[in-house]
Structure 1
Amino acid sequence: MIVVFDAQCLLCNAWVQFLLPRDRAGRIRFASMQGRTGQALLRQAGLRVDGLQTLLLVDGDRSWQHTAAIFRVLHVLGWPWRLAWAAWLVPAPLRDPLYRWVARNRYRWFGRSEACLMPSPDVAARFLD
Structure 2
Amino acid sequence: MTQTTVLIDAQCVMCNGLARFLQQRARSDASLAILGIESDEGQAMIADFPERLKAMDTVYVVRNGRVYGRSAGAIRLLLCMKWYYAMWYP
Paired residues, number: 83
State the one-letter code of the partner of 1:11.
M
TM-score normalised by the chain length of structure 2? 0.80
Unpaired runs of 5+ residues, structure 1, are 87-129
Structural RMSD (CA): 1.7
**Aligned pair 1:56/2:57, yes or no?**
no
Aligned to 2:37: 33
Separation in 2, partners of 1:66, 1:82: 18
Aligned to 1:6: 9
State the identity %. 24
Which runs of structure 1 show a deviation greater than 6 angstroms over 4 or more consecutive aligned residues?
Answer: none
Structure showing greater Rg: 1
Maintained 8 Å contact 1:3/1:58: yes
Separation in 2, partners of 1:41, 1:17: 22
Maintained 8 Å contact 2:6/2:32: yes
| 1:100-115 superposed matches below 5 A | none
State the one-letter code of the partner of 1:25.
D
Unpaired runs of 5+ residues, structure 2, are none
Aligned to 2:25: 22
Greater strand content: 2
Maintained 8 Å contact 2:78/2:86: yes
Maintained 8 Å contact 1:75/1:84: no
TM-score normalised by the chain length of structure 1? 0.58
Greater helix content: 1
Deviates more, 1:76-85 or 1:23-32: 76-85
